[in-house]
Amino acid sequence: MVLFSAMIPATQHNRETLNSKVGLVTGSAKRLGRAVALRLAEEGADVVIHYRQSRAEAAEAVAEVEKLGRRAIALNADLGNISEIKWLFDETAKQFGRLDILVNSAANFLPASIVSTTEEIWDASLETNLKAPFFCAQAATPLLRRTLGTIINFADTGGLLGWPGYIAHSVSKAGVVMLTKVLAKALAPEVRVNAIAPGTITMPEDPPEWEADFTKFAPLGHSGTPNDITDAVLFLARSKFITGQTLVVDGGRTL
């Protein structure tokens, strides 16, 4: 063991710093997106806080990042509008001059069964959860190729298991899994693309019955925390030999 360890260059023992890097997290004014943005800042990155309607929360997130000694801006964009997506990344380039990490976390979660799924629910699910991540990736590609950056998409276990009470949502998130694979092939070797599929992640504002229901099926016997997801984001952001993969963070629920 000593001989093996001695053969590894010392730099490989150190975590890659995110200092001087720039991350853009979609939907990062609230909930998991906000937790991801703050974690990137804690690790040394400057951050673009994207929001659509949550202006006050976005401003609060910017203030939190600045307290950590990093730079942040809040940018408003409707991800259902391709021209606004292009503006979002043009403005990022204008303000920071680079982009290293794109986290596609913005999503909706619309309940709808085989009977109750409407055209509006179907279109809204696929537009926000699948179409927007693709066009964000497309707009980010020139910036990410320059920095040998990375894209991290948010799928979820619904896209792997299929939830009959959330049909359009499950289809959209299954699409994210495949989108991750094709983007990884299309953008290699300059840009790595991976996804995270969270299980139930308990947020402070969530009702306790959500966790109780989840723990019936999770072998580990408890739901996840935002730190479980932000740890996964950092792992994928730093992993130079992983691309096209979906990392399942669900306490074993998909077993």
Domain ranges of the chain: 18-249
Which residues neighbour 208 within 8 Å (Cβ) at sequence distance 6 or greater?
none
Percent of the chain with pLDDT over 90: 81
Dihedral angle sign, alpha carbons of residues 36, 38, 44, 48: positive
* 51 is annotated as an active-site residue: no
Output the CA–CA distances (angstroms, integers) from residue 5 to 16, 153, 205, 240, in the order listed. 19, 34, 45, 20
Amino acid at 39: R
Active-site option among 21, 51, 131, 173: 173
Active-site option among 30, 86, 166, 185: 166
Helix (H, G, I), strand (E, B) or coil at 241: coil
pLDDT at 211: 67
pLDDT at 12: 45
* 216 is annotated as an active-site residue: no
Range with lowest mean pLDDT among 13-27, 75-89, 234-248: 13-27
Whether 117 has a pLDDT exceeding 70, the answer reads yes
pLDDT at 155: 98
pLDDT at 17: 82
Strands 150-154 and 22-25: unpaired
Q: Give pTM, 2 decimals.
A: 0.91
User: What distance in Å separates the CA atoms of residue 217 and residue 232, rounded to the nearest whole number?
Assistant: 22
Whether 23 has a pLDDT exceeding 90, the answer reads yes
Arch. (CATH architecture) of 18-249: 3-Layer(aba) Sandwich (3.40)
Q: What letter does residue 15 receive in the DSSP assignment?
A: P
Count of CB atoms situated within 10 Å of the CB of 87: 16
User: What distance in Å separates the CA atoms of residue 202 and residue 208, rounded to the nearest whole number?
Assistant: 8
